[in-house]
Amino acid sequence: MPNKKKTTTKKVIKKTTKNKIKKKVEIKKNSHAKKKQLVKKIAKKKVAKNILKKVVKKIVTPKAPKIKKVIVPQDFKPGENIVYPTHGVGRILTIEKFQYDLVEEQLYVIQFFQDKLTIRVPFAKAKLIGLRNITSKPSMTRTLSVLKQKPKIKKAMWSRRAQEYDQKINSGDIKLLSEVVRDLFRKDDQTEQSYSERQMFQVAFERYTREFAISSSLKFEEASTKILEILNKR
């Protein structure tokens, strides 16, 4: 009987040791599998991060559009008198900045004496329009000799002559303007003019007189009297 007990206890010990070894192996296997899973998860996270970085790089946030500034030299100063061909004598009130379609440029704000009008002219268009300084005193004095001449009236129809006069008035050329004043002026004892002739003369006379007044440092009334005296004497 004692021999049987010993054999049974040996068998029990072997089984328990085998079970312990199996458990240890299983634990090792499980831990190894868990480690593998963790490594895979970490690798997946790294791959996902790299993909995100690439995507973020590709998705570039749009930059704010740059405003293009049109840089043109300033030819006139605020307070300066100028001549605009189609409006006559005016004054630069101020200079403003104007922005449109991502373009920024500077403008002359001009007020006209004759039309009582205020307009804005971009620096870039000033020369194209024909904006110019007031005629100098020596040049202006030379135009007075044109006024002293006899009128040169063509025998064409008034509509055609009116068109030519209108072009001269709006040309911005002081000499051409003086020619219109000379040709359309009528003394009191001369033949009466039509309404359109008188209107055209008035526009030409006022534009010419205003420029003459500024050039000669005279008041408008003084300049007007002087020019009418010259016209009446011829």
Which CATH number fits the domain that encloses residue 115? 2.40.10.170
Residues 192 and 178 in one domain: yes
Residues 145 and 116 in one domain: no
Residues 57 and 83 in one domain: no
pLDDT of residue 154: 82
Domain-ending residue, one of 13, 31, 61 = 61
Residues 20 and 82 in one domain: no
pLDDT digits (tens, 9 = 90+) for 127-152: 999 999 999 999 999 999 999 999 98
Residues 161 and 75 in one domain: no
Residues 109 and 88 in one domain: yes
* DSSP string computed for 71-90: -------TT-EEEETTTEEE
Residues 217 and 205 in one domain: yes
Domain count, the chain: 3
Provide the residue type at 2 as one letter: P
Domain-ending residue, one of 18, 45, 61 = 61
Domain that holds residue 28: 1-61
Domain-ending residue, one of 61, 80, 105 = 61
Return per-residue pLDDT of the chain as tens, 234 residues.
455 444 555 554 555 555 555 555 555 555 665 566 655 666 666 666 666 566 555 656 667 778 778 788 899 999 999 999 999 999 999 999 988 878 889 999 999 977 779 999 999 999 999 999 999 999 999 999 999 999 988 888 999 999 999 999 999 999 999 999 999 999 877 777 899 999 999 999 999 999 999 999 999 999 999 999 999 998
Number of other residues whose CB lies within 10 A of the CB of residue 197: 17
pLDDT of residue 4: 47
pLDDT digits (tens, 9 = 90+) for 193-222: 899 999 999 999 999 999 999 999 999 999
Helices vs strands, H then E, count in the chain? 7, 6
Residues 122 and 182 in one domain: no
Residues 196 and 226 in one domain: yes
- Burial of residue 188 (CB within 10 Å: 0-12, 13-18, 19+) is exposed
Residues 154 and 175 in one domain: yes
Q: Which two tokens stand for residue 222?
A: 């003084």
Residues 227 and 146 in one domain: yes
**CATH number, domain containing residue 227:** 1.20.58.1290
Residues 51 and 89 in one domain: no
pTM: 0.70
The distance from CA 129 to its chain's CA centroid, rounded to whole angstroms, is 17
